Amino acid sequence: MAEAGKLRFHVPEPEVRPGGTPDFSNVPIPKAGSVPKPPIDVDPREIRDLAFSIIRVLDRAGEAVGPWAGMLSDEELLEGLRHMMTLRAFDARMQMAQRQGKTSFYMQHLGEEAVSCAFRKALDKGDMNFPTYRQAGLLIADDYPMVTMMNQIYSNEADPLKGRQLPIMYSSKEHGFFSISGNLATQYVQAVGWAMASAISGDTRISAAWIGDGSTAESDFHSALVFASTYKAPVILNIVNNQWAISTFQGIARGGAGTFAARGLGFGIPALRVDGNDYLAVHAVAKWAAERARANLGPTLIEYVTYRAGAHSTSDDPSAYRPKAESEAWPLGDPVVRLKNHLIHRGVWSDERHTQAETEILETVIAAQKEAESHGTLHAGGKPSIRDMFEGLYAETPPHLRRQRQQAGI
Amino acid sequence: MARKTMIEAIRDAMDVAMGLDERVVVFGEDVGFFGGVFRCTQGLQAKYGKSRCFDAPINESGIVGAAIGMAAYGMKPCVEIQFADYMFPAYDQLTQEASRIRYRSNGDFTCPIVVRMPTGGGIFGGQTHSQSPEALFTHVSGLKTVVPSNPSDAKGLLIAAIEDPDPVMFLEPKRLYNGPFDGHHDKPVTPWSKHELGEVADGHYTVPLGKAVIRRPGNAVTVLAYGTMVYVAQAAAEETGIDAEIIDLRTLLPLDLDTIVESVKKTGRCVVVHEATLTSGFGAELMSLVQENCFYHLEAPVMRVAGWDTPYPHAQEWDYFPGPARVGRALIATMEA
């Protein structure tokens, strides 16, 4: 009783640390097909439970079931599989290129390929994403040239960003991909501003904001939700919950809230949780949100429940903070394998064709890599000019920068 | 032509810009229906509608962040931060986003925004309604920083800022909103209607960014000032009888170095004056530039007069504010050095 009046400080801890046995038994996984699909004009108050469930389409047998199924054709699904496989192969090659010293840094998507690849197909041409560093599937699925991505990663003479940006911080207005900052959460409210501008202009285009579980703790996440809620902006607010923010488990950002999606409820924003490793579910929920935005029904918050199977970046070693086998124990499986099994179940795919596709995709990626490397890599071959460092900061280079450029002998 | 207050001139500038270009939108805290706490946006919502001029939540990071997104879309937002002291929550968006989007995307995206903010003291605003954070902007690569000193310039500079293709920080010395102020706080306020620079031309005109102007020609010493300090320096020159040449910088970045260097080479002496705190203030940059460019023409050390390195106090406002007496002492010391 002596402790009764004494305050206790609480620091959340993950269930298991290195050396322990991975245990996701506390993660409730609803059955595929069990979550209803409301009409897009539903009153957000009537679907509050969707912020605490997980919308899933693919069941364990590889069948697409329930009200969110049936939106994609065989061709579209085969294309989706190809996009995810391409992203995975691209990642593997670029991860290796970093280890070979051809670039300084890389960030892969392993285990999260479905999120950005499927989402892109729910948007239209002209819509704008404000991505984080782990949504390159938005570019792959929009057929952005892999060579150009690699040129950026290598900061070589053909780098469209002239060597100014950290690898993978792509930018492509044409492909609806806003310049990645490397800063955290700033893009979330910028996406809302873009959507507000589209609405002010009487346009039909919408935007999508991206953030990770960890960065939802940033003030700009709150700013974005306030602005999106107030102005009913035509924006899709995406949270990719891959369980880990570098070494910090998602409980540190989530705090006492049941889920990240639940953050939307206080703003009156419809909030849905979706199986992020289920290509069909991601696409269906994103499409639902896009239709709401286009119908002037305002923003939708989506939490993609997934797992970062790889390291945060090439500068990170997850074995220092989580069990090595944790990713294999992740109950939502591998997005590529799940879509592959579904396509086999549909009778349009086979193990043989999959293996063959893997080989073909790898060849395509290697060909792109060879072409990119002909323009140089970070420390060898063609590189951006020193002049590029001084230019392009302002539309017109001001006198003080011109003087500094001259001092540098350029 | 009409005599206008600086508030009316700033409002006129936004009115002109909004009338000419529907991509110009104006928003901020209390900016819409009410017209802003200093009334700079009064009537704009009624004239241009709620989608062109509207109230924002109290969230400066959100205001600037949303403006950046709008600019990426293709609009030209001109937002108000209610006091310059309130811009700090938006500092991340300004320094790491707005300023670098053109550079980091190699021109794929740009950020033509204007962030207006009342700056400086002299209204008993205490530590959170009096600061002058201009050096926190000039230190950032990719921003432009403007500080007008009168209604005529304010209108032309603000239209130029709105039409500029890059982000511009537009700091409005709030003590100058209703009239020139020379630091003699115990004297009656002179309204802009009695000052020639209160004469504001109608319609569209610009004052180019990056061009200083000589407010008072002189031969003995060059005074580099901007905003409220232009009038304080003028009073100090009159009261000491020193033939000072007073340069109103108007734009801090890009800086009109040519006008500065030409004047200091002529006078051989220089005093730098600002209201912001001394240490690492913009005056330090000005002194460095003068030293680098005019060293062999200098007859005396360059001197600074600035706010003391304390938070802006409430009751001691006039002990803090670098008024004409302090500037005058610096002028005399420079002449005697």
For position B1, what pLDDT does the model report? 82
Helix extents (H) in A247-329: 251-254, 279-294, 326-329
Could you tell me the strand order of the sheet in which B303-307 lies? B213-216, B244-248, B221-225, B270-277, B303-307
As a whole number of angstroms, the distance between CA B69 and CA B98 comes to 10
DSSP state of B183: S
Kind and range of the H or E run holding B270:
strand B270-277
| d(CA A58, nearest CA chain B) in Å | 36
Among A18, A149, A111, A81, CA closest to A311: A111
Contact B66 A394 (CB under 8 A): no
As a whole number of angstroms, the distance between CA A408 and CA B268 comes to 30
A321 CB burial (10 A radius; 0-12, 13-18, 19+): middle
Place of tokens 């640390």: A17
Contact A190 B106 (CB under 8 A): no
Position A2 confidence tier, pLDDT thresholds 50, 70, 90: low
Could you tell me the strand order of the sheet in which A271-275 lies? A128-130, A207-212, A235-241, A300-305, A271-275
Q: Which token pair is B275?
A: 């209201």
For position A236, what pLDDT does the model report? 99
| Residue A75: alpha-carbon gap to chain centroid | 23
A239, β-bridge pairs = A211, A303
CATH classification for the domain delimited by B213-336, as one of 3.40.1350.10, 3.90.1310.10, 1.10.540.10, 3.40.50.920: 3.40.50.920
Contact A392 B141 (CB under 8 A): no
Handedness of CA A133, A138, A144, A147 (dihedral sign): positive
Mean pLDDT, rounded, for A121-131: 98
pLDDT of residue A1 exceeding 60: no
As a whole number of angstroms, the distance between CA A333 and CA A310 comes to 14
Cβ-nearest to A190 among B69, B74, B257? B69
| d(CA A386, nearest CA chain B) in Å | 14
Contact A223 B62 (CB under 8 A): yes
As a whole number of angstroms, the distance between CA A335 and CA A346 comes to 16
Q: Using a CB–CB cutoff of 8 Å, tell me whether B293 touches chain A.
A: no
- Roughly what angle, to the nearest 10 degrees, separates helices B60-73 and A186-200? 60
Torsion of CA A257, A291, A61, A74, to 10 degrees: -150
Hey, what amino acid is at B198? G
Helix extents (H) in chain B: 6-20, 44-48, 60-73, 91-92, 101-104, 134-138, 151-163, 229-240, 257-267, 282-294, 317-320, 324-336
Contact B257 A399 (CB under 8 A): yes
DSSP state of B189: P
Cβ-nearest to B108 among A171, A190, A196? A171
| d(CA B44, nearest CA chain A) in Å | 16
pTM: 0.97
Asked, as a colleague might, if the bond just before A399 is cis with ω within 30 of 0, I would say: no
CATH classification for the domain delimited by B2-200, as one of 3.40.50.970, 3.90.1150.10, 3.40.50.1820, 3.40.50.300: 3.40.50.970
* Inter-residue contact B246 to B215 (CB < 8 Å): yes
For position A397, what pLDDT does the model report? 97
Mean pLDDT, rounded, for A227-247: 97
Residues 6+ apart with CB under 8 A from A25: none
Active site annotation includes B129: yes
Whether ipTM exceeds 0.90: yes
Residues in chain B, how many?
Answer: 337
For position A15, what pLDDT does the model report? 87
DSSP 3-state assignment of A200?
A: helix
Q: What is the pLDDT of residues A259-311, one digit of tens each?
A: 999 999 999 999 999 999 999 999 999 999 999 999 999 999 999 999 999 99
What is the residue-level pLDDT of chain B in tens, covering all 337 positions? 899 999 999 999 999 999 999 999 999 999 999 999 999 999 999 999 999 999 999 999 999 999 999 999 999 999 999 999 999 999 999 999 999 999 999 999 999 999 999 999 999 999 999 999 999 999 999 999 999 999 999 999 999 999 999 999 999 999 999 999 999 999 998 999 999 999 999 999 999 999 999 999 999 999 999 999 999 999 999 999 999 999 999 999 999 999 999 999 999 999 999 999 999 999 999 999 999 999 999 999 999 999 999 999 999 999 999 999 999 999 999 999 9
Q: Which token pair is B32?
A: 């819409």
For position A256, what pLDDT does the model report? 86
B24, β-bridge pairs = B76
Which fold, A44-312+323-379? Rossmann fold (3.40.50)
Helix extents (H) in A5-132: 74-99, 113-120
Q: Using a CB–CB cutoff of 8 Å, tell me whether B127 touches chain A.
A: no
| Contacts with A178 from chain B: Cβ below 8 Å | 72, 109
| d(CA A223, nearest CA chain B) in Å | 5
Please, what is the average pLDDT of chain A?
96
Among B67, B76, B54, B111, CA closest to A231: B54
Residues 6+ apart with CB under 8 A from B224: B247, B249, B260, B270, B271, B272, B273, B283, B286, B290
| d(CA A201, nearest CA chain B) in Å | 8
Residues 6+ apart with CB under 8 A from A198: A204, A205, A206, A207, A234, B73
Mean pLDDT, rounded, for A113-120: 98
Q: Using a CB–CB cutoff of 8 Å, tell me whether A165 touches chain B.
A: yes
As a whole number of angstroms, the distance between CA B283 and CA B119 comes to 17
Find the closest chain A residue to B141 by CA distance.
A393
| Contacts with B97 from chain A: Cβ below 8 Å | 181, 183, 186, 190
- How many A×B Cβ pairs under 8 Å? 144
DSSP state of B198: G
pLDDT of residue A65 exceeding 80: yes
Where are the domain boundaries for CATH 3.40.50.920 in chain B?
Answer: 213-336
Contact A194 B109 (CB under 8 A): no
Kind and range of the H or E run holding A296:
none
For position A34, what pLDDT does the model report? 98
As a whole number of angstroms, the distance between CA B36 and CA B309 comes to 31
Q: What is the pLDDT of residues A315-351, one digit of tens each?
A: 999 999 999 899 889 999 999 999 999 999 999 999 9
* Inter-residue contact A84 to A97 (CB < 8 Å): no
Q: What is the pLDDT of residues A347-377, one digit of tens each?
A: 999 999 999 999 999 999 999 999 999 999 9
Cβ-nearest to A161 among B25, B62, B105? B105
As a whole number of angstroms, the distance between CA B118 and CA B134 comes to 11
Could you tell me the residue ranges of all domains in chain A? 44-312+323-379
* Inter-residue contact A69 to A280 (CB < 8 Å): yes
Q: Using a CB–CB cutoff of 8 Å, tell me whether A293 touches chain B.
A: no
Q: What is the pLDDT of residues A26-45, one digit of tens each?
A: 889 999 999 999 999 999 99
Find the closest chain B residue to A167 by CA distance.
B104
